[in-house]
Amino acid sequence: MVEELSLPKLNFPTTDLKAEVQDLDFYYGTSKALKNVNMSVPARKVTALIGPSGCGKTTLLRCFNRMHDLYPGNRYDGQIMLDGINILDRKVDPIEVRMRISMVFQRPNPFPKSIYDNVAYGLRVQGLTKRQAVDEKVEQALKSAALWSEVKDRLTESAYALSGGQQQRLCIARAIATDPDIVLFDEPTSALDPIATASIEDLVNELKQQVTILIVTHSMQQAARLSDYTAFMYLGELLEFNQTNVLFNQPAHKRTQDYVSGRFG
Amino acid sequence: MSNSSPALPKSNRFTKHKGAREWQERVIEFVLFLAGFSCVLTTFAIMEILVVESWHFFQTVSIVEFVTSKDWSPLFEPPGYGILPLISGTLTTTAVALSVAIPMGLIAAVYLSEFASGKLRETVKPILELLAAIPTVVYGYFALLLVIPILQWLYSFVGPTLSNIFPAIFPVEMSGFNMLGAGVVMGLMITPMISSISEDAMRAVPNMLREGSYATGATKLQTALQVVFPAAISGIFAAVILGISRAVGETMIVAIAAGLQPNFTFNPLDSAATMTAYIVQVSLGDLPHGTIQYQSIFAVGLTLVLITLVFNILGYFLSKRFREIY
Amino acid sequence: MAPAELSAQSLSPAHNAVSRRQLISSSFAILGLLVIFIALMVLLALVTSLVLQGAPRLNWKFFTSFPSSDPLEAGILAAWVGSVLVMLTTMLFAIPLGVAAGIYLEEYAPKNWLAALIEINVTNLAGVPSIVYGLLALGLFSQQLNLGESVLTAGLTLALLILPIVIVTTREALRAIPNLLREAAYALGASRWQMIWDHILPYSFGSILTGIIIGMSRAIGETAPLITIGALTFIAFLPPLPIQPEFPFISFEWLTAPFTVMPIQMFNWVSRPEQEFQVNAAAAGVVLIVMTLTLNGFAIYLRYRFRKGVKW
């Protein structure tokens, strides 16, 4: 047996847990991509998922909003508990899950619509039709995404007129407009330049006052800068999960140490 | 040769074959160019033939009569040369066909692109393509001997009542040749084409847009109609426009099932001739070269080409206007 | 923690609204299936009605008899031989011309107005109604070039008609070949034509062939342009065969012979008022459908095979 399996469960003080992953296995067809993952997602904190490419960090993230349901042949085994409900249960509608757990993607993916319509999209599909209410929510979301001052005079312009960094902030506005409980970030800065990256990181720091954030990143510096908690994943397993400063400074596992000190990955 | 310095001896092994090889390559390129240019020549030839024969036609018939008169009877005495009845026939059959083909084609496309499993799509698509490959003369048979009789039977339940209320629009009995039957079958024929091209356009929409939509809690239908469909709208316009030109230019179905009498009407229950059907009708007889009737089919052909050209230009600008960069 | 009971509760207060949205979405899926079902039923109804009506005529005699005023005696000998000869002529012109034009546009054409002009014309020609090709043939081939109402005129007409299809599929096939292979050939010292002839054409052969077959299936069912050039409907003799028993064994006389083809024969029978001729029409329709569906089925099979076999 591999040593990592004997890892102790959470060993840090947690006050408020938003979600909890319990004995999660995940299969792409017959290949097992996640092996017995257990972790907690503390409320209104930033939790980072790090690890070498192919370790399953994005796979784990996409379990949270059931993105894997979109493609045939995928199978979950285990639970992710949110408010006492296992959101991976077949009887739970993935659409309801996604209404409460929204997502920001690796590359900015605004819809070919106006800036306003992009942010309003989630509200509208969820049934909010009153013009005034939508207006308010859109403005609020764009302000939270630190984009309002840049776009308030051109809300009807196409979202493609924005720069890459602005597009990503627009996608963040889209994700938070519906007041989700958790926002998932899948390497949100990997397609951006350093300046745009800095502005997104500032934004993530701001947002954690309001929502719980789960972020996948390939950059250890980013994890160290942004997150309160960090999970290190390796070959589909969660090797170590701890407060970020503990994980980076006193890692319990040799592999974690090798990775965070840049020896592999 | 610009890139070989004059100091090199003539038999240098790098330049020895260069001249011959370049010459050979140029000849090949020129031959291939000629093949491509044959398309340009074809277009010119089409326009030349149509314009020259129409020119002769308009020496006898005034253009004003041609575009304003509602009497098309070139084979009778006195002849009438107003193209409006043929245009009304063409537009009516086209409208009937599109009202079948656009909803059916687009629903099928959205379903196949966004809802169906890969396996179902791979099975259904080729079968639908077969539907589009069946010769139009067979569709004509289908319209005349199967679809119109069924429509007549259905109409027999409502026809007498309707003709009492609106005698001007509804006949008591449906004629055995009518634009409705021809149009419906034409619509069925172009449905696979509209569906296939629109589906390709929707499948080309990047998956990350779909994921973005699903991530906000949208259903499949919301994602399909509010994100994928608008993103693919330029390709969908192209499909519809192609469907229109197919319907306007379709010949055999209308020649067989819509009747051949020119009739200025937009009522699909009537029988009427289209522009294409008239050309077929004249060609079936043995008209000597140089007669006014012979020239008339070229004038009708020119009108047909101009109408399809208008639709194609319209389609070009529509797709361009709505082209999205995703 | 045990998973909570889900039957009565849900994640969000908007549970009912979500169910309604899901219901609308699923209803659309049913509508979509229904539309596809209707389309497939149409295909089935079309084929079944033809086969049922045409069955009594589908015998050997039908294939070996000339047309006749007696529907029971009439057959499709002249029509199917005519179709085969016209198809041969069409292939003879459309394949080299179309493939060459496709190669030019994809591999050679510089970015200038002349190449753009050719491209626009290819797109345009694809949208020209087929009967207009008939008018072109009537005015140009039959009258000006004096080729008359011959197999050659018909073949040339249909060749021009399917030229855009062949060109477009050839281009798509060539475009699918990755540039790496072109560069590999150049790096070994191949000239442009050697690169195309030795590498690009063989690799894209399957896709090009698929396009040619689709074009042929289109041509074999075309009726309108051939009516326009004056194809006869009553032919009681066969054109001289291309292969002759005596020297020089090959004859081109058939090119100038008058002809009829399957779709025209069928059209002729459909337009007769007598019920018995409708049976002939149905039987001819069955033969015609078998011809086009075989060609198309073959093309689909080829596309499937080549797509499966080749991985770039």
Q: Is B22 on the interface with A (CB under 8 A)?
A: no
pLDDT, mean of residues B296-303: 92
Structure confidence at residue B11 (pLDDT): 57
Mean pLDDT of B290-314: 88
Strand-pair category, A17-28 with A31-42: antiparallel
Given a contact cutoff of 8 angstroms between Cβ atoms, the answer to whether A45 and A27 are in contact is: no
In chain B, % helix, strand, coil (3-state, to 5) comes to 75, 0, 25
Question: Which of C129, C21, A185 lies closest to B224, judged by CA?
Answer: C21
pLDDT attached to residue C4: 42
Two structure tokens written together for B51: 């314009």
- Facing residue for A95 by CB, picked from B118, B208, B217: B217
Tokens matching residue B9:
């001896």
The residue type found at A229 is Y
**Which chain B positions have a beta carbon within 8 Å of C296's beta carbon?**
129-130, 133
C275 in contact with chain A, both atoms CB, cutoff 8 A: no
Tell me the count of B-C CB pairs closer than 8 A.
254
Chain A CA closest to residue B233: A112
Q: Give residue B4's pLDDT band: very low, low, confident or very high (50, 70, 90).
A: very low
Q: Which helix (H) or strand (E) holds C300?
A: helix C275-309
- CB contacts of B52 in chain C (<8 Å) are 139
Reported as a pLDDT band with limits 50, 70 and 90, residue B7 is low
d(CA B227, CA B208): 11
Tell whether A179 is within 8 A of chain C (Cβ).
no
Bridge partners (DSSP) of residue A50 are A232
Q: Does C175 touch chain A (CB under 8 A)?
A: no
**pLDDT at residue A141 tops 90:** yes
Choose the closest CB to A103 out of B117, B215, B324.
Answer: B215
Token pair, residue A130, equals 């009153």
3-state secondary structure of A106: coil
When pLDDT is averaged across residues A194-203 and rounded to a whole number, the result is 90
Give pairs for C112-120: CB < 8 Å, separation 24+.
Answer: C115/B36, C117/B40, C118/B36, C118/B37, C118/B39, C118/B40
Residue C7 has pLDDT above 50, yes or no: no
* Nearest Cβ partner for A174 among B211, B216, B222: B216
* DSSP reduced 3-state for A229: strand
Q: Which of B37-46, B69-78, C246-255 has the lowest mean pLDDT?
A: C246-255
> In this structure, what DSSP letter does residue C108 have?
I
Q: How many CB atoms lie within 10 A of CB C73?
A: 12
> Region C207-213: what's the mean pLDDT?
88
Task: Note the pLDDT of residue B276.
Answer: 93
- Give every strand in the sheet of A46-50, ordered side by side: A101-104, A182-186, A212-216, A46-50, A229-234, A237-243
What amino acid occupies position C107? Answer: E
pLDDT of A3 reads 38
Instruction: Provide, rounded to the nearest whole percent, the portion of chain B with pLDDT above 90.
Output: 43
In three-state secondary structure terms, C20 is helix
- Does residue B234 or residue B97 have the better pLDDT? B97
> What is the predicted ipTM?
0.86
Residues of B in contact with C227 (CB under 8 A): 280, 283-284
Q: Decide the pairing of beta strands A74-82 and A17-28.
A: antiparallel
What is chain A's mean pLDDT, rounded? 87
> Is A95 touching C (CB cutoff 8 A)?
yes
Rounded distance between C-alpha atoms, residue C161 and residue C141, angstroms = 14
- Please, which pLDDT band fits residue A49 given cuts at 50, 70 and 90? very high
> Measured between CA atoms, how close is A96 to chain C, in angstroms?
6
What mean pLDDT do residues C262-283 have?
86
Nearest to C261 by CA among C88, C134, C83: C83
Q: What does pLDDT average to over chain B?
A: 86
Q: Which of the four pLDDT bands, split at 50, 70 and 90, describes residue A6?
A: very low
Highest mean pLDDT among C10-14, C139-143, C262-266: C262-266
Domain A18-259 annotated CATH 3.40.50.300:
yes
Can you give the pLDDT at residue B2? Answer: 46
Average pLDDT over residues B73-99: 89
Which class does domain B83-285+307-322 fall in?
mainly alpha
Give the burial class of C237: count Cβ atoms within 10 A of its Cβ; 0-12 exposed, 13-18 middle, 19 or more buried: exposed
Task: Classify residue A239 as exposed, middle or buried by CB count within 10 Å of its CB (0-12, 13-18, 19+).
Answer: buried
B130 in contact with C at a CB cutoff of 8 Å? Answer: yes
Q: Characterize C112-121 residue by residue with b for buried, 16 or more Cβ atoms within 10 angstroms of its Cβ, and e for exposed.
A: eeebeebbeb
Distance of alpha carbon A81 from alpha carbon A89, whole angstroms: 10
Q: What is the CA radius of gyration of chain A?
A: 18
- What is the rounded CA–CA span in Å between residue C279 and residue C57? 7
Q: How far is A243 from chain C (nearest CA, A)?
A: 24
C17-41 average pLDDT score: 89
Measure the CA–CA gap between B188 and C38, rounded to whole angstroms: 10
Amino acid at C218: R
For range A204-226, the mean pLDDT: 90
Report the pLDDT averaged over residues A103-130. 90
pLDDT of residue A7: 40
- Structural element, H or E, at residue A234: strand A229-234
Tell me whether B32 touches chain C (CB under 8 Å). yes
Chain C residues closer than 8 Å to A93 by CB: 10-11, 18-19, 22
What phi and psi, each to the nearest 5 degrees, are found at residue C271?
-80, -5
Of C1, C3, C18, the CB nearest to A96: C18
pLDDT band at C80 (very low <50, low <70, confident <90, very high): confident
C103 pLDDT band, cuts 50/70/90, is: very high
Least confident of B52-66, C147-161, C297-311: C297-311
CB of C15 within 8 Å of a chain A CB? The answer is yes
Contacts of A33 (CB under 8 A, 6+ apart): A26, A27, A56, A59, A236
pLDDT at B24 over 90: no
**Cβ pair C9:A100 closer than 8 A:** no
Neighbours of chain C (3+ CB pairs under 8 A): A, B
For range A153-182, the mean pLDDT:
91
Mean pLDDT of C179-203: 82
Tens-place pLDDT, residues C239-253: 766 666 666 666 666
Contact indicator for B196, B128 with CB cutoff of 8 Å: yes
| Alpha-carbon torsion (B170, B175, B177, B180), positive or negative | positive
Determine the residue type at A44: R
- Residues with Cβ within 8 Å of B163's Cβ and at least 6 positions away in sequence, in order, are B170, B171, B172
Q: What percent of chain C has pLDDT over 70?
A: 86
Are the beta carbons of C3 and A83 separated by less than 8 Å? no
Give the minimum alpha-carbon distance from B204 to chain A in angstroms, rounded to a whole number.
14
